[in-house]
């Protein structure tokens, strides 16, 4: 599998989009998540954190029945919670990127991401940080959740 494409986040919605994809990918085929992503992005209001955070209980009920998305209520609730945390950390650090870069090491950052955000483990945090253009360890290095690949083999 080719590594995911990296982006230059332009706003908080870009961060929530990438993080939410990592949340949905936990325990589910990447192909399934990829095939549902356009509908997921639409259902979650383009991942605008304020719009997601303001979803009502009725909206949550509607999302759990929406066939465009993976209908795991706990993950949907996690994304709403994660939207709130992104907004809070953005405000308290003068920017979400400032929050990401406020840690002394990759390991410290991943530990804090796992504490701050729901359904974000080591692999999801690595994926998230890689895609949003933050520094991550190379495959096989300490702290990288992926196994070392053979020379010439595609990395995850």
Total structural domains in the chain?
1
In terms of Cα–Cα distance, which of 118, 132, 58 is closest to 84?
A: 118
Give the pTM: 0.88
CA 122, CA 119: separation in Å to the nearest integer? 10
Whether residue 141 is contained in a domain is answered as: no
Other CB atoms within 10 Å distance of the CB of residue 20 = 26
**In 44-150, where do the E strands start and end?**
none
The full 3-state SS of 89-115, as one line of letters, equals: HHHHCCCHHHHHCCCCCHHHHHHHHHH
Could you give the 3-state DSSP secondary structure of residue 44?
coil
Local confidence pLDDT in tens for the 156 residues of the chain: 577 899 999 999 999 999 999 999 999 999 999 999 999 999 999 999 999 999 999 999 999 999 999 999 999 999 999 999 999 999 999 999 999 999 999 999 999 999 999 999 999 999 999 999 999 998 655 555 554 333 333 333
Domain containing residue 74: CATH number: 1.10.340.30
CA 135, CA 24: separation in Å to the nearest integer? 23
Whether residue 28 is contained in a domain is answered as: yes
Q: The domain containing residue 74 runs over which residues?
A: 12-131
Whether residue 37 is contained in a domain is answered as: yes
Tokens 């992005």 belong to residue: 41
């Amino acid at each position: 599998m080719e590594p995911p494409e990296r982006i230059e986040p332009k706003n908080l919605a870009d961060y929530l989009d990438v993080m939410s994809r990592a949340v949905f990918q936990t325990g589910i085929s990447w192909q399934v998540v990829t095939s549902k992503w356009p509908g997921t992005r639409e259902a979650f209001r383009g991942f605008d954190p304020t719009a997601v955070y303001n979803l009502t209980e009725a909206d949550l009920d509607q999302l759990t029945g929406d066939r465009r998305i993976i209908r795991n209520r706990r993950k949907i609730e996690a994304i709403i919670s994660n939207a709130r945390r992104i907004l809070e950390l953005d405000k308290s650090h003068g920017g979400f990127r400032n929050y990401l870069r406020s840690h002394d090491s990759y390991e410290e950052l991943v530990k804090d991401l796992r504490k701050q955000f729901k359904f974000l483990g080591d692999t999801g945090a690595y994926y998230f940080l890689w895609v949003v253009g933050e520094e991550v360890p190379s495959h096989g290095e300490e702290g990288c959740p992926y196994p070392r690949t053979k020379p010439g083999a595609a990395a995850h």
